[in-house]
Amino acid sequence: MEPQVVIATRIARELRDGMLVNLGIGIPTLVANHVPPGMTVFFQSENGLIGTGPVPEPGMALRWLTDAGGKAVTALPGASTFDSATSFALIRGGHLDLTVLGGLQVDQTGRLANWMVPGRMVPGMGGAMDLVTGAKRVIVAMQHTAKGRPKVVRDCTLPLTAERRIDLLVTELAVIAFPDGRATLIETAPGVRLDEVRAATDADLAIALAEGA
């Protein structure tokens, strides 16, 4: 199974019926493909859409129906579109039950960096600052390393997205929570050993699972 799919399927287990959920660009968009059968979740995109469905099949994308990153999405029956002012009123007003965001780094206290230095030819902040601050719960979906370098670090070297700490980090190797601002390993992915997680992590990890689990 591809790392991105491992991450998305695990995050889908955090969904609950009736939730209003924002999905960021990248890996988070895949979460919509793995909603448990029989569950109704309302996915929101900050460019003004509630009712986002799964990623469209090849050849079925509509050029005017995109997420906040410009990638094609689908809209479920009953979906609603609206302007950015209304969308950010939902976000800043604390109405989102959950946001799932991508990440470039997460530090050992749960602070997120998911944008790059201004002037670089890469995406900027977008709505992430508002989402981390305004959502009731924040989950980060990212791969554990990039080009062999850990992304779970002692201190972020990239600009922080917000002062607020995230609630949960899900990678292809592990699930890490941050009770009392301390990175705590609560799960390893299927087939992944504890020593593999430690070797790929540049942060102090508390362990809340048995050795060899």
The pLDDT score that the predictor gives to residue 211 is: 47
- Measured distance CA(83)–CA(42) in Å, rounded: 17
Fold of 3-207: Glutaconate Coenzyme A-transferase (3.40.1080)
Cβ pair 23, 31 in contact under 8 A? yes
CA 185 to the chain's CA centroid: 17
Give Cα separations from 163 to 131, 200, 201, 205 (angstroms).
Answer: 12, 25, 22, 21
The closest of 131, 134, 152 to 142, measured between CA atoms, is 152
Both tokens of 202, joined, read 């540049």
Q: What is the pLDDT of residues 33-91, one digit of tens each?
A: 899 999 999 999 888 899 988 778 888 888 888 877 788 888 889 999 999 899 999 99
pLDDT at 189 over 60: yes
Known catalytic membership, residue 172:
no
Mean pLDDT over 154-171 rounds to 95
The pLDDT score that the predictor gives to residue 122 is: 52
The catalytically annotated residue of 2, 46, 172, 196 is 46
Q: Are strands 184-188 and 49-52 parallel, antiparallel or unpaired?
A: unpaired
pLDDT at 120 over 90: no
pLDDT at 109 over 70: yes
pLDDT band at 125 (very low <50, low <70, confident <90, very high): low
Tokens 């199974």 belong to which residue?
1
